[in-house]
Structure 1
């Protein structure tokens, strides 16, 4: 799957899914909330980004802008970019409802429409990175738009989950394929035969190599545990699986000055 094929599949897929996604998960995310993943770990608890007050912040794969809106309530100047027009329409709706406006643009992680050294922080909370084929380009773009000393942070499906079926039940606890198999997961439209959803897998070692190669110094790797009493089922995430295996990985890295 090329970068173009991945983009042409995932943009329309998110346009189709955006209404259901926001209806199902919007309350959990909060209009002005910053949640790193289905486990419910918040940025106010984790502090992965560091202080954001007075800083210029870019959210890549911003969706409806909930995380960026939280940053604005903390005194940061947050901006969003997303591949899905429908997600950005939801962002505009929440802007109007909440009174906290996140300026956002339609675009892709591999071609950020911003000047060099524009931001102090770039982050993605389960955003664009898993859907990008040319991940080295996306990481290099994050480095390009960061100022020296800037911070890059992101959450993704924990790479070890690639070994297991995407099932929230007990079947999702039985390894069925190789952790090192980097063949992308692809769904195909039955009517046209064209890819309709693409997700790319990288190992933990791949991510370390990518970040180091772009000049980043990794300072944080969080693997949130499933909280006691948390009964939410979100796709393949559930208490059944979360008690035994991590579902989310959160990276934090600095660009040296």
Structure 2
């Protein structure tokens, strides 16, 4: 699972990560970035930062937990993929899986998950966790893992019953409409596609946890991606913005029917700050949007 952020300073990843870590000299701009540039930047960034990311945030995510965002919305309670009892034997594709924490949770409910991520280093962390679990008798086998771009899924039509993504892949894709069509292609009729992203309204505000993060400074309708680039102008991190309406239209155009749009409220008792996510902002502004759709 990987988690991105909103623009205006360092991104957060996701997942909760701080894109830009390790790239202190990167210049942050808003400019066009196509599929090839975006894909390369994401692969290299997550390969460079996977160790630090898992070290910093692995405890929150858990080895086999399934949270949809920094508000801590847990799939065990939310049941956005359906009744956990109904997951047994279902083939599930986790997109932008990171170290496959969500896939491991699904496997624990009897599902047959496949974890896909663009970063080889993230998937190596998945293998590390699998090895620890197998050695401790907590699992019988590793979660199947595939390195690939989510906009070019290497699976046959109708291969999966469900697809999910917790802050992974979708905001990093320059052609998220194509990503939606690919997910539709590999799902069987009636299959759910559930994904979470930074709530689009956050793109209008600075990525700051304090009061300065409560004043809108950018246009919500500015769809230029957030790009961190090196001295030669090459992108080292790219994140793409779509409005809520854009996301709905992408889903519908791909052949999905929107069932729900979940905006988790900041829970009482959660005082942790994480990048631009904080109790102050979370109690006033939505931070996560979870799109729940079905392939008819």
TM-score normalized by the length of structure 1: 0.97
> Structure 1, residues 51-101: CA drift from partner, whole Å, max 9, x if none?
322100000101000000000000100011101111001000011112342
Q: CA deviation at 1:193?
A: 2.6
Q: CA deviation at 1:228?
A: 1.2
2:168 to 119, 127, 132: 127
Cα distance in 2, alignment partners of residues 112 and 226 from structure 1: 34
1:115 and 2:156 matched: yes
1:167 and 2:199 matched: no
* DSSP-derived class of the 2:251 partner: helix
Specify every segment of 5 or more residues in structure 1 that has no aligned partner in the other structure, as ranges.
none
- Residue 243 of structure 1 corresponds to 283
Q: CA deviation at 1:136?
A: 0.9
2:262 to 216, 222, 241: 222
* DSSP-derived class of the 1:25 partner: helix
Q: RMSD of the alignment, in Å?
A: 0.8
Cα distance in 1, alignment partners of residues 66 and 153 from structure 2: 22
Q: CA deviation at 1:170?
A: 1.3
* DSSP-derived class of the 1:15 partner: helix
2:59 to 27, 35, 60: 27
List aligned pairs for 1:1-257, cutoff 5 A. 1-50=33-82, 51-99=86-134, 100=139, 101-190=142-231, 192-256=232-296
Structure number with the bigger relative contact order (C-alpha 8 A, sep ≥ 6) is 2
Cα distance in 1, alignment partners of residues 209 and 48 from structure 2: 23
* DSSP-derived class of the 2:87 partner: coil
Give the 4+ runs in structure 1 shifted more than 3 A: none
> Structure 1, residues 134-181: CA drift from partner, whole Å, max 9, x if none?
111100000000001111000000000010011111111110011111
Cα distance in 1, alignment partners of residues 146 and 271 from structure 2: 35
Q: CA deviation at 1:10?
A: 1.0
* DSSP-derived class of the 2:227 partner: strand
Specify every segment of 5 or more residues in structure 2 that has no aligned partner in the other structure, as ranges.
1-32
Cα distance in 1, alignment partners of residues 290 and 88 from structure 2: 21
